[in-house]
A and B are shown apart, each in its own frame.
Chain A
Amino acid sequence: MVSFLSRLDNIAKRLAVWLDERLGWRGVWEAIFLRKLPKVNWAYTLGSATLFVALLQMVTGILLTIYYVPTPDYAYDTVQFITHDVNAGWLIRGLHHYGASALILLSVLHMARVVIYGSYKFPREVTWLSGVFLLLVTFGFGFTGYLLPWDQKAYWATTVGTSIVGIAPGIGDWLLRVLRGGQQLSEVSLARFYGVHVWFLPASLLLLIIIHMYLVIRNGISEIPHKDDQI
């Protein structure tokens, strides 16, 4: 048994070397996971926590598309079908539902940490900026996703939410019609909210996450400021 395990270990090591010679994965691994960090506290894990929940949202969101249909005649029925009839559907939907709130909460806490510890300063201004866009995209996810269950709360919350755009001076009414795909909330609104929720925003999110993570790794994370630091 022991010799079998050590032989298996040996094969794994040789495979790792073989792959590293061709892919250079060890360098990537070291840059991401074995990089040098200053001594920081638990508040510095909020970014990773946000990333984790974002990944969870991607997985559960992809799973939901298997049964969800974004048309007014079936949207509500398919959500009920997922919740009550599909194996573990309640779990997948539940994770996505509560994950959405967790994602907003964690993003904002992460942002607060960056502000409190002054981590947005040189040389990390662009990291901060990409984070601002990430937050906007996250809000976009929340806003568009809220309509998709197509129940009373979804319908009226989105009616109110889109009406707010309508009061913008001059172009407000036009913007409202663009957002809703017409004057009223309709099947056109539902389809475009769905399209934005599952294509436009995920594409932007992925791109922004790559930029954000690259900058975090490239610049390193900031130290905790000391009270006798020069300002």
Chain B
Amino acid sequence: MNDDNRLSRRGFLGLVTFSLGGLISLIVGIPAISYIVSPARKKVEEINFIPLGAADRVTVGEPTLFRTKITQRAGWIIDERELSYYVLTENNREFVALSNICTHLGCRVRWVADEEKFFCPCHNGVFDKNGAVVSGPPPRPLDRYEVKEENGQLFVAFG
């Protein structure tokens, strides 16, 4: 038996084995974690303006639904995704787009003209025409997106 402070041959080899094993585990383990969480990283996308449709479709003071499509690639499939926006204007010069996605749990809201409100079918979230919460569980107003008009066509900021 050795003194407590002196490393035996066996102890030394044990230490070397464990250190090498630990090192190899790290060399594989750290990239492995990065590999698993890889899709969670946010892609840096510049803001693009995507075409919505003709500006004269929008009635002044009433949210009007526009549908548009974008091509997206999440992993290995290039797919078209449909996006919907309610476009609102008070003067036919300045437009704003409201997302039709309920801020509560992501269901699609619907504009009911008679009541002048957006209704969410899932948990009775209600928004006014500017997207502010009137009642129900939604925690914040509907998302708003910048809209620009060029030659009578509307474009919405995406990204």
* Most chain A CB within a 10 A radius of its CB, from B32, B34, B37: B32
* Residues on A with beta carbons closer than 8 Å to the beta carbon of B34: 87-88
| Shortest Cβ distance from A77 into B: residue | B76
In contact, B28 and A89 (Cβ under 8 angstroms):
no
The count of residues in chain B whose C-beta lies closer than 8 Å to any C-beta of chain A is 13
A95 near B: Cβ within 8 Å? yes
* Residues on A with beta carbons closer than 8 Å to the beta carbon of B32: 59, 63, 88, 92
* Residues on B with beta carbons closer than 8 Å to the beta carbon of A91: 31, 35
In contact, B28 and A56 (Cβ under 8 angstroms):
yes
A200 near B: Cβ within 8 Å? no
Report Cα–Cα, A67/B77, bound state, in Å: 12
Interface range, A side: 20 to 34
Report Cα–Cα, A9/B56, bound state, in Å: 77
* Residues on B with beta carbons closer than 8 Å to the beta carbon of A87: 31, 34-35, 37-38, 41
* Residues on A with beta carbons closer than 8 Å to the beta carbon of B38: 85-89
In contact, B76 and A88 (Cβ under 8 angstroms):
no
Shortest Cβ gap from B65 to chain A (Å):
34
In contact, B77 and A88 (Cβ under 8 angstroms):
no
Question: B127-154 vs A: 1/0 string, CB under 8 Å?
Answer: 0000000000000000000000000000
| Shortest Cβ distance from B35 into A: residue | A88
| Shortest Cβ distance from A89 into B: residue | B35
Shortest Cβ gap from A149 to chain B (Å):
14
Question: A64-106 vs B: 1/0 string, CB under 8 Å?
Answer: 0011010000100110110001111101100100000000000
Given contacts A87-B34, A87-B38, A89-B38, contact A59 B75 (CB under 8 A): no
Report Cα–Cα, A60/B31, bound state, in Å: 11
Tell me the A residues contacting B by CB distance below 8 Å: 56, 59-60, 63, 66-67, 69, 74, 77-78, 80-81, 85-89, 91-92, 95
Contacts A88-B31, A88-B38 given; 5 further ones with Cβ under 8 A? A59-B32, A63-B35, A66-B36, A85-B38, A89-B35
